[in-house]
Amino acid sequence: MNWTGRRLPRTEDPALLRGEGAFTADLAAGARAVRFLRSPFAAGRILSIAAPDLPPGALLVTGADLEGVGAIRPELFRFNYRAIAQPVLPRERVHFVGQPIAAVVAATPEEAEDIAEAVLLDIEPEEAVVTIEDALRPGAPTLHAEAPGNVVVDGTIRHPDCEAAFARADRIVEFSLRSGRQNATPLEARAGLAAHDRATGRIRLTASCQMPHMLRTGIAALLGMAEADLQVVAPDVGGGFGQKMALFPEYPLLVWLARRHRGSFCWIEDRNENLIASAHSRDQIHHLRAAFAADGTLLGLEADILANTGAFSCYPTTCGVEPLMALAEYPGPYRLPTYSARARALATHTCPAAPYRGVSRPVVTFGLERLMDRAAAALGLDPVALRRRNLVTEFPHVTPTGLTLDQASYVEALDRAVEAADIPAFRARQEAARREGRYLGLGLAVFNERTGYGTPAFAARGMGIVPGYEVVDIAMTPAGEVEVRIGASPHGQGLRTALAQLAADRLGLDPSRIRVIHGDTDRTPYGWGSFASRGAVIAGGATQLAADKLAARLRRAAARLLQAEPDSVTLRDGAAWAGEASIPLTEIARRVHQRSEQLSDLGGFNLAETASYDPGGTFSNACHVAEVEVDAETGHVRILRFLVVEDAGRLLNPLIADGQVHGGVAQGIANALLEEVLYAPDGNPLTGSLADYLPPSAAEIPHIEIIHMETESPETLTGAKGLGEGGAIGAPAAIANAISDALSPFGVDIAELPATPARIRALIRNAR
Amino acid sequence: MSKMPIRLTVNGVPHEVAVEPRRSLADTLRDECGLTGTHLGCEHGVCGACTVLLEGEPVRACLLFGVQADGRAVRTVEGLAAADGTLDPLQRAFWENHGLQCGFCTPGFLMLATWMLEQPEPVDEARLRHVLSSNLCRCTGYQNILKSVRAAAQALGKWTEVAPVR
Ligand code: FES
Ligand code: FES
């Protein structure tokens, strides 16, 4: 039976459908409530924090109470990184609106809020640095003495022949683009519950997080406690998309409370806190300059990348994650002979940045794919032909930044998309519509997505903490079920199902006999988590390796029991077979554990194996096509059609894969049209509710068509390439190109996202 | 703050609880009745994760006070499956069509769709989208939520093809 590749409904679902999931807030009964008091100013000096009369049992904790608690200070050993420190609670200065400056504890959340409102905060406001332009202004206030000029990361790549390429060019295309700030907005905001266990003295932190092992390591180090005395559990997690990777100050504070006061303390973030004080992303300006030959051949590219990464540097990736990913991956799927770039992370008095689905690549793809359309227009060439001319066709291909592109289908995916989109028919519709004063447009985005990369890729960034491998422990119980313990920690990606499918095939067992255990540092091996489109590739590869080792053990035992050669034994349908003879796996499991005198010389007293996997990485690829109608009077954009041709290698479970594409595209559409975190010039956030920050509903997301191609990766064990982020990467560029195409009669060029009605109207007005 | 005693029926089971008048219906259900299937995604009436049926009508449980449910009947996600855990047809359709990823929005969508499918009028594509656009999901891009409810409507004989799906 081949389970891998089937559209198997998920084992995760029934409990969630019955409302029996266990999210952090569902586990909080009996815990005391924690409310964080947050800075109302973007910048300022703390003069005093005066507690009101506290009712019995209530607490107010400030930075002054946290003697001996360390600051969050991730490291990067390259790219001129300046290590900056984020205190768990500050004593001297506040750095962004929403920064936690004190914690109130009371019996109920309502009481804690009442007390928090009565605390007297005396803060002397100072001048705030809010935008990229503010941060770079000569004489601007400096956030951190360690980072002069507010530059926290400054990475450059210089190819000596770049200037020659520009000197030789027939055409130079140059422009700037801006990407608005986004919030990943998981529907469950952050939450943590720290509980002291009197019997053992240990603390259990249950948190809505993506990287439980990393969180444990980080918190133990900050608090100077034994890591072995801290258990971190990620229960059901209501979405993350990167936002829940980081070590936030709220979590060590909860653990500190549980240790100090020997009790249970729970913080459930509200939506306003999540919108202003969790983590933001994508606030970037790119300046691009590209050299082309007259026939459309791309000769060289220069990029200047500026990222507003907020007040602090997120742990463990650091604030370098956005600019440095752009620096390394700007060449995309295109053959680029020479490349020079500079990428900076700038500190501002705003919420810190952290990874969000796609990290910098939605912005990079916006840049590259606008470049292709602009260049085609400048050279009088067909944009599809221009892309085809420059896409990489021979693999492996080494990019100018040293990345190796493995087997992929860049041109083929483009061709499939162009065919499915039926561009000639669209052009006819576009013509007819224009005669009626309606503006239709079609936009393409071709891109690759670096996925499933292990430690080499993270080490190359010079990270002080190098994530990347995954470890899987597998064991068969005496009754014959299989437990797969993974260090990764999924939160909606269906890994419990997909990994069971993989293991089922290797063990000849029904997936319903396999339990995948994750999200608990006490019960799983050390590992990293679900981020960077890595679950199917890395946790999948490690699961496959571990299952193979277990299968070999089972075959050896079966050979003894069936009196056959181990090589002749196969596993299928829950049994081991040698010719016609067979023995159920349940019987082998029972004998290994309970009749060990017969079998222990074959490899011990149990059926447990462990395996790890640390691949170099692979690239999936896709082509997105958007068809839009723009109302030139109102600036409103309606998406008429959205098509995705996706090549993510071998699909472990196409049902789940489609869901990942859908979710990514919806976030990409939101990025293109709707969502933007806004700040007033003084650093006050203006988008503090879901009435101001606008995630799309079913009314804004069109039907999404998906065509899969499956170019198996030679670089991964499972043949899978990741695809968790691709939807979010391609959609903004495709939509920006479609709007620009629709408004080409006005000469409008979309260079800023989201393309809100107000922005589109301004562009049309200025063009007229 | 002083508490008020209220009686409400949740999924057919009578509850007598004492709540602070300022507590929302969602908090009342979660904390006083122990029914944590009703989720809170925003607490300001936008996301719909907290949707429950009050006297048969969908409401945002974060926008009502618990005391407003005094003497009234509430249905929550916990009431959908059979006592032995067997999923109802709508829940089954969500399962088969991958209508959920993280599952946080799911209870709200299930209650909203339950209400829609209990109305006398048939459901077509436009009504499906219109009604379901009351709630937010961050994971699925809505494709498989719409597909799940469409499948359930078809199975229940509630579906009508008016406009082609596109
Ligand atoms: S929690 Fe009630 S609408 Fe969001
Ligand atoms: S499934 Fe995660 S929010 Fe809908």
Domain that holds residue A68: 31-126
Does A528 fall in a domain? yes
Please check whether residue A672 is in contact with residue A366, taking contact to mean a CB–CB distance below 8 angstroms. no
Does A155 fall in a domain? no
The sheet carrying B57-60 orders its strands as B13-19, B4-10, B73-75, B51-54, B57-60
Q: Which of A613, A638, A672 is the last residue of a domain?
A: A613
pLDDT score recorded for residue B166: 44
pLDDT score recorded for residue A490: 81
The structure tokens listed for A1 are 């039976």
pLDDT band at A724 (very low <50, low <70, confident <90, very high): confident
**Between chains, do B41 and A704 touch, taking CB under 8 Å as contact?**
no
C-alpha to C-alpha distance for B110 and B131, rounded to whole angstroms: 12
**Between chains, do A29 and B110 touch, taking CB under 8 Å as contact?**
no
Q: Do A576 and A467 fall within a single domain?
A: yes
Q: Which of A89, A109, A126 is the last residue of a domain?
A: A126
Does A541 fall in a domain? yes
pLDDT score recorded for residue A456: 84
Closest residue to B44, CB basis, from A665, A667, A689: A689
Buried b (16+ CB within 10 A) or exposed e, B122-145: ebbbebbeebbbbbbbbbbbbbbb
Residue tagged 């499933």 (tokens): A452
How confident is the prediction along chain B (166 residues), in pLDDT tens digits per residue? Answer: 799 999 999 999 999 999 999 999 999 999 999 999 999 999 999 999 999 999 999 999 999 999 999 999 999 999 999 999 999 999 999 999 999 999 999 999 999 999 999 999 999 999 999 999 999 999 999 999 999 999 999 999 999 987 544 4
C-alpha to C-alpha distance for A225 and A256, rounded to whole angstroms: 10
Distance from CA of A185 to the nearest CA of B (A): 7
The gap from C-alpha A402 to its chain's centroid, in whole angstroms, comes to 23
HSE (CB half, 13 Å, CA atoms) of B23? 27
pLDDT band at A533 (very low <50, low <70, confident <90, very high): low
CA-closest candidate to residue A486, choices A498, A474, A478: A474
Q: Do A760 and A663 fall within a single domain?
A: yes
Ligand nearest to the CA of A660: 2
Q: Do A486 and A473 fall within a single domain?
A: yes
Q: Do A483 and A581 fall within a single domain?
A: yes
> Strands A581-584 and A575-578, how do they pair?
antiparallel
3-state secondary structure of A5: coil
pLDDT band at A532 (very low <50, low <70, confident <90, very high): low
pLDDT score recorded for residue A616: 87
pLDDT score recorded for residue A603: 75
Q: Do A462 and A605 fall within a single domain?
A: yes
**Between chains, do B43 and A271 touch, taking CB under 8 Å as contact?**
yes
- Residue A7 phi/psi, 5-degree rounding, is -85, 65
Domain ranges (residues) in chain B? 4-79, 89-155
C-alpha to C-alpha distance for A178 and A176, rounded to whole angstroms: 7
* Helical (H) or strand (E) element with A515: strand A514-517
C-alpha to C-alpha distance for A661 and A639, rounded to whole angstroms: 17
C-alpha to C-alpha distance for A266 and A190, rounded to whole angstroms: 11
pLDDT score recorded for residue A455: 86
pLDDT score recorded for residue A464: 82
- CB of residue B29 inside a 6 A radius of ligand 1: no
Q: Which chain A residue is nearest to residue B133, measuring alpha carbons?
A: A698
Q: Which of A16-20, A85-89, A481-485, A646-650 has the lowest mean pLDDT?
A: A646-650
Thinking of the domain B89-155, which architecture would CATH place it in?
Orthogonal Bundle (1.10)
Residue A497 above 50 pLDDT? yes
Residue A459 above 80 pLDDT? yes
**Between chains, do A270 and B43 touch, taking CB under 8 Å as contact?**
yes
What is the CATH classification number for the domain harbouring A483? Answer: 3.30.365.10
Pocket test for ligand 1, best of B38, B46, B65 (most atoms within 8 A of CB): B46
Question: What are the pLDDT digits (tens) for A662-692?
Answer: 999 999 999 999 999 999 999 999 999 999 9
Please check whether residue A598 is in contact with residue A709, taking contact to mean a CB–CB distance below 8 angstroms. no
Please check whether residue A66 is in contact with residue A59, taking contact to mean a CB–CB distance below 8 angstroms. no
**Between chains, do B100 and A29 touch, taking CB under 8 Å as contact?**
no
Query: Helical H runs in A610-680?
Result: 654-673
Identity of the residue numbered A198: R
C-alpha to C-alpha distance for A258 and A482, rounded to whole angstroms: 35
Pocket test for ligand 2, best of B46, B134, B139, B143 (most atoms within 8 A of CB): B139
| Residues from chain B contacting residue A237 (CB–CB below 8 Å) | 102
Pocket test for ligand 1, best of B50, B52, B111 (most atoms within 8 A of CB): B50
Size of interface A-B (CB pairs under 8 A): 176
What is the CATH classification number for the domain harbouring A71? Answer: 3.90.1170.50
- CB of residue B25 inside a 6 A radius of ligand 1: no
Does A580 fall in a domain? yes
Q: Do A625 and A582 fall within a single domain?
A: no
Buried b (16+ CB within 10 A) or exposed e, A496-532: bbbbbbbbbbbbbbebebbebebbbbeebbebbbbbb
Does A322 fall in a domain? no
| Residues from chain A contacting residue B33 (CB–CB below 8 Å) | none
Q: What's the structural domain count of chain A?
A: 3
HSE (CB half, 13 Å, CA atoms) of A60? 20
| Residues from chain B contacting residue A18 (CB–CB below 8 Å) | 37, 77-78, 80-81, 85, 87, 91
Cα A21 to middle of ligand 2, angstroms: 13
ipTM higher than the 0.95 cut: yes
- CB of residue B60 inside a 6 A radius of ligand 1: yes
Contacts of A668 (CB under 8 A, 6+ apart): A358, A362, A624, A727, A728, A729, A730, A731, A732, A735
Mean pLDDT across chain A: 95
Q: Which of A159-163, A705-709, A732-736 has the lowest mean pLDDT?
A: A159-163
pLDDT score recorded for residue B165: 47
Residue A530 above 70 pLDDT? no
Question: What are the pLDDT digits (tens) for A404-448?
Answer: 999 999 999 999 999 999 999 999 999 999 999 999 999 999 999
- Fold match flag (B4-79 vs B89-155): no
- CB of residue B5 inside a 6 A radius of ligand 2: no
DSSP label at residue B102: S
Q: Do A479 and A580 fall within a single domain?
A: yes
Q: Do A379 and A442 fall within a single domain?
A: yes
* pLDDT > 70 in chain A, percent: 99
Question: Length of chain B in residues, anyone?
Answer: 166
Q: Which of A596, A613, A630 is the last residue of a domain?
A: A613
Quick one: average pLDDT of A599-628?
91
- CB of residue B59 inside a 6 A radius of ligand 2: no
| Residues from chain A contacting residue B163 (CB–CB below 8 Å) | none
Quick one: average pLDDT of A695-706?
98
The structure tokens listed for A519 are 């999200």
- Residue A243 phi/psi, 5-degree rounding, is -60, -30
Does A757 fall in a domain? yes
Identity of the residue numbered A726: G
| Ligand 1 closest atom vs CA B43 | 1
Does A628 fall in a domain? yes
| Residues from chain B contacting residue A705 (CB–CB below 8 Å) | none
Cα B1 to middle of ligand 1, angstroms: 24
Contacts of A336 (CB under 8 A, 6+ apart): A298, A300, A301, A399, A400
The domain B4-79 is classified under which CATH number: 3.30.530.20, 3.30.460.10, 3.10.20.30, 3.30.300.30? 3.10.20.30
